[in-house]
Amino acid sequence: MAPRTDFPPVRACLFDMDGLLLDTEDIYTLCVNELLLKHKKEKFPLPWSIKAQLQGRPGPAALDIFHDWADLPISREQYKEEYYALQAQKFPHTTALPGVKEFLQKLGSTRYWDLKEDATTNGADQKPAAKPHRVHIALATSSHEANFRMKTNHIQELFTVFETHRRVLGDDPRIPEGRGKPLPDIYLIALQTINDSLPKGEEPITPEECLVFEDSIPGVEAGRRAGMRVIWCPHPMLKQEVDKTGDEKLVLAGLLNQAEIEKEKAAEVDKEKAEAGFTNGAKKTDTNVLADTETVPEKPIDANTEKPSDADAEKPGEIDDGWAEYLPSLVSFPYEKYGIQIPNAEVEEDPVMKESAKIDEGEVLQAVQTKVADA
């Protein structure tokens, strides 16, 4: 098919974290390989054909896939205990991947267009195609809060561009059970956090005005099923694995059908619960649900980000449709191609920018201190 070229300018960038912003995918591999050497040498090292299936998924789903393949001679409980202990040793030493720091700083600087009422296109690095606008940013990671803290507490400055209310983690209660990547919920919720906090008078952002950044195949599929454009920036070894099979176009379209697999698994779990007499997480008695169990209705997704209820809901893309592309890294990102205008570096010295940065950093620091105190 002919690729689409008439996209609106990008107004929101939504980011995965592991393997996209941080070098944590290599750390995950190191931890797994240490345990394979210890418990099942014939499976060492973890092949990328399996690794590719683990990336981007919620922890429990990834562990299921790994254990089905590894068939370790230890219990899952023992494996998790040893695995998490290794992670606790290594995660505090994570570093940003090439180009990430500069890229996030430049996107963060686009708030200048909102802060300076008299800002003009003369402050942009490149010739603009449209009126300059702020690019809103949100985080959408499958990492749970405890792991997120371990991975980022020593590099908090890198994450100050992500306002705390625009961070959606893997254990966020707004993500329904069984609806992690490759399903689109986490990205739709991330967009909702942006739309819920837009300045007064700014039009809600639509999915097609979003650009998702992902390194994993399930993550690309999640972005495509959310109706968003996607940048796939994989680990070099994952790209090599995909090149072997010639599946890059399928990856970019979100057509590897992983979401269907996840739905089937979730349906099986629901069926098992129903057969066991469980409904909404509570076991039925002969008369009613247990008295101390409260059913909490799901928070509705905003109309501007809501998934369609018809047959087109959550559909992936099509091959060569122009909605996704591969980039080897975030170095030298083509901002102009996506309608993103970056102010000159000098604007960071503007008093209004410095004041805004202080507010953002203070919000993040207060949130971290509160979470640590609660831990």
Per-residue pLDDT at 308 exceeds 50: no
- Does residue 182 have a cis peptide bond before it, meaning omega lies within 30 degrees of 0? yes
**Is 274 part of a structural domain of the chain?**
no
- CA separation for the pair 247, 362 (Å, rounded): 45
234 and 348 co-located in one domain: yes
This prediction's pTM: 0.80
104 and 234 co-located in one domain: yes
**Is 289 part of a structural domain of the chain?**
no
Last residue of a domain, one of 75, 93, 111: 93
What are the phi and psi torsion angles at 282 (to 5°)?
-120, 140
- CA separation for the pair 16, 204 (Å, rounded): 22
Segment 138-161 mean pLDDT: 96
132 and 238 co-located in one domain: yes
The predicted-structure confidence for 312-358, as pLDDT tens digits, reads as follows: 678 999 999 999 999 999 999 999 999 999 999 888 877 877 676 65
- CA separation for the pair 299, 174 (Å, rounded): 7
At 124 the three-state DSSP class reads strand
Please tell me the predicted confidence (pLDDT) of residue 212. 98
The predicted-structure confidence for 259-291, as pLDDT tens digits, reads as follows: 666 666 677 777 777 877 755 544 443 333 223
Last residue of a domain, one of 62, 93, 124: 93
Last residue of a domain, one of 77, 93, 109: 93
Q: How many CB atoms lie within 10 A of CB 82?
A: 16
Q: How many domains does the chain have?
A: 2
Angle between helix 145-152 and helix 351-374 axes, rounded to 10 deg: 130
Where is 136: in which H helix or E strand? strand 136-140
125 and 213 co-located in one domain: yes
**Is 283 part of a structural domain of the chain?**
no
Structural domain including 241 reads 12-23+95-255+303-374
Please tell me the predicted confidence (pLDDT) of residue 149. 97
Angle, CA 278 vertex, CA 273 and CA 283 arms, to 5°: 150
40 and 164 co-located in one domain: no
38 and 86 co-located in one domain: yes
What amino acid is encoded at 227 in this protein? G
99 and 84 co-located in one domain: no
At 146 the three-state DSSP class reads helix
Half-sphere exposure of 199 (CA within 13 A, CB side): 9
